[in-house]
Structure 1
Amino acid sequence: AQERIQHLATHDGLTDLPNRVMFSQVLKLAIQSARRYGRHFAVLFIDLDRFKIINDTLGHDAGDTLLKEMSQRIKDNLRSSDFVARLGGDEFVVLVQEINDAEQAATVARKLLSVLIKPVMIVGQECRVTASIGISRYPLDAQDEQALMKNADIAMYLAKEEGKNNFQFYSKDIKTQSLERLTMETSLRRALERTEFFLHYQAKLDLKSGAITGVEALVRWQHPDLGLISPLQFIPLAEETGLIVPIGKWVLQTACAQNVAWQRAGLPPVCMAVNLSPRQFADENLLLDLASVLEETAMRPELLELEITESMVMVNIDRAAKQLTAIKKMGVRLAIDDFGTGYSSLAQIKRFPIDTIKVDRSFIRELPQDAEDKAITEAIIAMGKSLSLTVVAEGVETEEQQSFLRDHACDEMQGYYFSKPVPPEQFAELLGTHVAVQSPQK
C-alpha cells in the first residue's frame, strides 16, 4: 500500500507517466550528475497543438483517449536513458541525457513530431494533432532546474508562433520576444475592460448594380503605449488564450448595434458580416450569445452573416453541420471565408447550410495574368453558382480584377480597389452614395 501511495504521488493518474513532482526530482539529479562529470543534456517541452479544439468538440473522454495515445507514442520513441513526464493538460516534458551537440536534440524532436502527427481514431473520427516543441540545454542555456524549464517553455511558445508542428531551441533573443508576448497577453486581458478595441468596416460591392450590399466588421486594437496593434499580432494570441470568446462577443454586439444605428439614420439595410474564430465556433455558449445579441440590438437576423473558415468545419464535420444548422434556424446567414485554401470539396460543402463562399485573396492577387488562379477562380464561381450560393471575391485591388470578376458572374467583391476598412462614419457616407440603382450594363 505504501508503494501504491508513493506511485500515485509521483505519477499522472490518466497516462501513468511520471508527473511534475517526479520530473523535478529527476531533473535535479541530472543537473548534479552533469555538473560532476561535465556532461550535457537537454530538456524538451512538448505541447500538443489544437488539443483544445478536439477536447471542446469531441468531449473530454475523447481528449483523454488522445492524451493516452500521445503519451504512449512519446514513450515508445525515446531511448531507455531518456525520461518523459506529463506536466498536466496537453503538456509533456522530456529529459534527453548525454547530448553532445544541438543536432542530437533536434533528431529526438524531429522523431517525436513525426510520430505525434500520425492520425489517431477517436470516437470513429480520424483526428490528427501536431506538437510544438521547445528545447533548452544544460549547461548552455541554463544551469538550474527552474531556468531550464522556463527556457524550454519560452522556446515552445516560439515554436507555436512559428506556425506549430515544429521545434525551436531557446536563445537569449527570444527571451525579449516572450516578454513582449506576456505583456501583450496582460494588455489584451485589460483591453476589453478599458474599451481599447474598435471596429472598422469594409464594404462589399454588388458587381452588377454597383451598390453596397454588405459590409464586414474588422476589429482593431488601439494600445495606450504601443499604438495601433495589427490583428495579425493579437488575434492568434487571443485565440490561444481563449480571450477571443469575450472579444468576439463584443465585436458581434458592436457590429449589430452599428448596423441598426445606420438603418435608423435612414441608410439602406445591408448585411453585416462578422468573423467567427475556431475557439468561438467550438464555444458551447455561441448560440445563446447570438440570440442575446440579436435580441438586445433588435437587428433582423437575416442582416447578420457569420464568416467561418473551411478548416474550422473540417475539424469535426458532424458537429460543424449541427452547429451551422442551429445558426441557420435562427435566420442568420453563413459564409465560408478563404474558400479554396482548405481541404473541402463540393460534396462536403453541400452538407453545410451555407449562403456565401468567399474566394480567398491569394487567388485574386495575380488575376487576370495568372492562368492557374484564373482557372481556380472560375471553377469556384461556377461551383458556387451550381449550389445557388452568393460568391464574394476578397482582396480586389485593380480595375482588371474587378472587370474579370464581373465578366465571370462573381456576385460581390471587397478590397482596396473600392474601399479599405474605414471608421463607421466614413462607411455611412460611402453607403449613402452607393445605393442600389439598376445599372445600365444589363
Structure 2
Amino acid sequence: HPRGNHVLKETAKRLHEFSLDKGYVARTGPGQFTIVLSREDADIREVIGQIQDLFALPIELDNETIRIAISIGVASYPRDAKEAPELMSCARKALSEAKTRGEGQIEFYSKDLFKKSYYLVRIKKELETAIERHQFVLFYQPKINVKKQKIAGFEALIRWMHPQKGLVPPGQFIPTLESTGLIIEAGRWVIEEACRHFNETFASLSEDIAISFNVSVRQFKDKAFPSDLIGLVQEYGVNPYRLWLEVTETALMADEKRAISKLEALRDFGIGISIDDFGTGYSSLCYLKKIPASCLKIDMSFVRGLPGNREDIAIVKAIISLAKGLGKRTVAEGVETKEQLAVLSAMGVDEVQGYYFSKPMPLREATSYLLQYNQEKYF
C-alpha cells in the first residue's frame, strides 16, 4: 500500500526529528510508535502538546491532503512500573483506553485502567456473542418536517437487548464496538436491517418516509465501504432516494480525497448525505464546499441552550443561514420543548427531531407513531 507506507515514513520522520534531543523513538506495532523520554525533568504535558503540533499539519501526497489523527497513551517510570516490559504494558493499556474514547485522545496510565482493560475484554466477548446470536435491535426516532408539520422520516439507531441485563444504553457498548472493529460488522447489520424494515413496513405506509442511519468513523474508512452499502440497497430493492447516510465531520477529515470520492459514489447512486453533529468537528468552510452533502445536522449541544442562550441562538442562526446559502437542508436534533421548536421554526430550520416528539422506539411503536401522528399535539 504505497499511500500507507508514505504516511508511516512521514510519521517516523517527524517523530525522529522531534525526539533527537529528548529521547528515543521506535515503531512497536502497526501504525504504532513508542517514544522513550530520557530526561527526568521533562514536562510530559508540554511534550504531548508538541507531538500534537507535529501532526497538526497534513501530509501532502500526489495533490492529496492526508490528515493524521493520533491517540496517545502515557506511562511513567517509576510511578507506574519499574521494569521496561511492564512499563510498555502500562503504556499500551493507556493507549487502548485513549483509542476507545475516540481519535485524538490522550490517556495517562492508572491502576483503574487495569479494571477497565478487564472490562473491555469481557464486553468484547459479549458483543461478539451479541452479533452471533442476533441480540441487536433497531430503534427509530422520528424526524419532523417543520414547514409541513409532518413526519419526514426516521433515524435508525442500534440498541443491544442483553439476555440478562435487558436494554443496554448505547454509550455502554458503541465505543467498544468502534475500538475493537466490531462496528464494521454491526454497522453492516444496521444497514441491512433498516433496508429490510423499510421494505416490509415503512414503504407500504407512506410514499414520503425516508430512513437515515449513522456510519461510524471506522466503518466509513473500511475498504468495503461504500460498495457494501450500495450492494445491500440493491439486494433489498430499496429506492436509494428514500435513504440518508449520516456521517460526522471527524470521519471525513482523515483522508479528504478518498472521503469525497466515497460520498460522491453514494450521492450519484441516490443516497442522501447528511453531516452529523455539525459544528462540533474540525472542518473548514473550504472543505464544506467540497463535500457532496445536501444536509447539515445541527448538534444538540447548540439546541439545548435555546431559546435563552444568546450564543447558541447566534450559532444556530449562522448554521441555518450558511446551509441555505449553500443550498443545503438543516435538521436540528435534541429538541425537547415546544419553545425550542418555536425558535427553530422561526429561524427557518427544515426538520427537527428529539424527545419533544418521541424517544427512539422499536419498530412496532414507530409504526404506530407514524399511523397515529397528530401535528396539533406538537405545533
TM-score (norm 2): 0.88
DSSP 3-state at the match of 1:156 = helix
Q: Deviations over 1:112-145 (max 9, x none)?
A: 4443444443333444435333333455433555
| Contact 1:212/1:435, CA 8 A, preserved across alignment | no
Q: Does 1:300 align with 2:236?
A: no
* Distance (whole Å) between structure 1 residues aligned to residue 52 and residue 164 of structure 2: 39
Q: Does 1:88 align with 2:55?
A: no
Aligned ranges for residues 91-110 of structure 1 at < 5 Å? 91-97=32-38, 99=40, 108-110=47-49
* Distance (whole Å) between structure 1 residues aligned to residue 35 and residue 286 of structure 2: 43
| Contact 2:244/2:273, CA 8 A, preserved across alignment | yes
* Distance (whole Å) between structure 2 residues aligned to residue 321 and residue 351 of structure 1: 8
Cα distance, 1:214 vs structure 2: 0.8
Amino acid of the structure 1 residue aligned with 2:130: A
* Distance (whole Å) between structure 2 residues aligned to residue 322 and residue 372 of structure 1: 35
* Distance (whole Å) between structure 1 residues aligned to residue 327 and residue 18 of structure 2: 51
DSSP 3-state at the match of 2:297 = strand
Aligned ranges for residues 275-286 of structure 1 at < 5 Å? 275-286=214-225
* Distance (whole Å) between structure 1 residues aligned to residue 264 and residue 105 of structure 2: 36
| Contact 2:230/2:266, CA 8 A, preserved across alignment | no
| Contact 1:117/1:131, CA 8 A, preserved across alignment | no
Cα distance, 1:374 vs structure 2: 1.6
Equivalence for 1:373 = 312
Distance 1:395 1:147, change over 3 A: same
Q: Deviations over 1:318-344 (max 9, x none)?
A: 323322221122222221212233344
Equivalence for 2:2 = 61
Q: Does 1:430 align with 2:355?
A: no
Among 112, 122, 125, the alignment partner of 1:173 is: 112
Equivalence for 1:421 = 360
Cα distance, 1:364 vs structure 2: 1.1
Query: After alignment, is 341-350 or 355-364 more displaced?
Result: 341-350
Aligned ranges for residues 216-295 of structure 1 at < 5 Å? 216-263=155-202, 266-267=205-206, 269-295=208-234
Among 110, 128, 143, the alignment partner of 1:189 is: 128
Cα distance, 1:359 vs structure 2: 1.5
| Contact 1:209/1:436, CA 8 A, preserved across alignment | no
* Distance (whole Å) between structure 1 residues aligned to residue 152 and residue 106 of structure 2: 46
Distance 1:154 1:335, change over 3 A: same
- How many residues align? The count is 378
Cα distance, 1:194 vs structure 2: 1.4
| Contact 1:346/1:383, CA 8 A, preserved across alignment | no
| Contact 1:210/1:436, CA 8 A, preserved across alignment | yes
* Distance (whole Å) between structure 1 residues aligned to residue 349 and residue 126 of structure 2: 41
| Contact 2:152/2:209, CA 8 A, preserved across alignment | yes
Amino acid of the structure 1 residue aligned with 2:117: S
Q: Deviations over 1:377-411 (max 9, x none)?
A: 22322333334433211111111111112222222
* Distance (whole Å) between structure 2 residues aligned to residue 281 and residue 167 of structure 1: 23
Amino acid of the structure 1 residue aligned with 2:18: N
Among 73, 77, 84, the alignment partner of 1:134 is: 73
Distance 1:436 1:119, change over 3 A: same
Amino acid of the structure 2 residue aligned with 1:89: P
Equivalence for 2:14 = 73
| Contact 1:268/1:435, CA 8 A, preserved across alignment | no
Cα distance, 1:184 vs structure 2: 1.9
Among 151, 155, 158, the alignment partner of 2:90 is: 151
* Distance (whole Å) between structure 2 residues aligned to residue 169 and residue 266 of structure 1: 52
* Distance (whole Å) between structure 2 residues aligned to residue 164 and residue 285 of structure 1: 21
Q: Deviations over 1:44-96 (max 9, x none)?
A: xxxxxxxxxxxxxxxx3232222222223333333669443211211122344
DSSP 3-state at the match of 2:114 = helix
Gaps of 5+ in 2: none
Among 148, 156, 162, the alignment partner of 1:209 is: 148
TM-score (norm 1): 0.76
| Contact 2:140/2:362, CA 8 A, preserved across alignment | yes
Distance 1:388 1:122, change over 3 A: closer
Equivalence for 2:296 = 357
* Distance (whole Å) between structure 2 residues aligned to residue 139 and residue 343 of structure 1: 37
Aligned ranges for residues 402-421 of structure 1 at < 5 Å? 402-421=341-360
* Distance (whole Å) between structure 2 residues aligned to residue 341 and residue 104 of structure 1: 30
DSSP 3-state at the match of 2:173 = helix
| Contact 2:299/2:332, CA 8 A, preserved across alignment | yes
Gaps of 5+ in 1: 1-59
Amino acid of the structure 2 residue aligned with 1:155: A
Equivalence for 2:321 = 382
Distance 1:395 1:311, change over 3 A: same
Cα distance, 1:174 vs structure 2: 1.5
* Distance (whole Å) between structure 2 residues aligned to residue 403 and residue 137 of structure 1: 53
Equivalence for 1:12 = none
* Distance (whole Å) between structure 2 residues aligned to residue 368 and residue 327 of structure 1: 36
Aligned ranges for residues 394-405 of structure 1 at < 5 Å? 394-405=333-344
Cα distance, 1:219 vs structure 2: 0.6
Percent same amino acid at aligned positions?
38
DSSP 3-state at the match of 1:255 = helix
* Distance (whole Å) between structure 1 residues aligned to residue 53 and residue 358 of structure 2: 45
* Distance (whole Å) between structure 2 residues aligned to residue 186 and residue 175 of structure 1: 17
| Contact 2:67/2:253, CA 8 A, preserved across alignment | no
Amino acid of the structure 2 residue aligned with 1:93: T
* Distance (whole Å) between structure 2 residues aligned to residue 98 and residue 408 of structure 1: 56
Q: Does 1:323 align with 2:262?
A: yes
